[in-house]
Structure formats: structure tokens, C-alpha cells
């Protein structure tokens, strides 16, 4: 079996991510935490970070670019 055939992932869509971020925002509020900023992972995490900011009423969103994987199921050098 090739690495791509063994790669385990979850296929998502906009509605799925939107719903998850709504739940996270509700949990954050219920826990009494009052964040100042949301940090999203660059590329795939930007949409979720933006939604979370909207739900929490935050203006500050920043991102981190993490590079480790060079392709689907192909690891690059250690971070």
C-alpha cells in the first residue's frame, strides 16, 4: 500500500467548519475565557480563525505558517 492510500483524513466543507467554530466559540464563552486575539494556522485554518473571531466579537486575527508536510502524506524535514 502506498503512503497516499494509508493517509487518514476527514473531508470537510464550509458548513462543517462554520458549525465547529460556532461550537468552539460557545464553549469559550461558557468557560468564562475572554480572549484578545485568535491565532489561526495559515492556509487551511484562516477561514476557521475568521469565523471564530466573528463569533467571539474579536477584531484581532493573526496567523502562523507551519511547514512540515511537502505533499499529501509526505513528510518533509522535522520542524
Find out whether 37 and 10 touch, Cβ atoms under 8 Å.
Answer: no
- The number of CA neighbours under 13 Å toward the Cβ of 30 is 6
pLDDT over 70 at 68, yes or no:
no
Portion of the chain with pLDDT greater than 70, in percent = 78
Short-list 4, 2, 21, CA closest to 12: 21
Helical packing angle, 46-56 and 14-30, nearest 10°: 40
The whole-number pLDDT of residue 44 equals: 81
Residue 79, pLDDT above cutoff 60: no
Residues with Cβ < 8 Å from 16, sequence gap 6 or more?
Answer: none
The structure's pTM equals 0.71
Per-residue pLDDT tens digits for 7-60: 788 888 999 999 999 999 999 999 999 999 999 988 788 999 999 999 999 999
Amino acid at each position: 500500500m502506498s503512503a497516499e492510500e494509508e493517509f487518514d483524513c476527514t473531508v470537510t466543507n464550509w458548513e462543517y467548519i462554520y458549525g465547529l467554530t460556532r461550537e468552539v466559540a460557545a464553549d469559550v464563552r461558557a468557560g468564562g475565557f475572554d480572549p484578545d486575539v485568535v491565532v489561526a494556522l495559515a492556509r487551511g485554518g484562516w477561514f476557521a480563525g475568521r469565523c471564530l473571531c466573528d463569533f467571539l466579537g474579536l477584531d484581532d486575527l493573526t496567523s502562523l505558517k507551519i511547514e512540515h508536510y511537502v505533499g499529501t502524506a509526505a513528510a518533509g524535514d522535522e520542524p
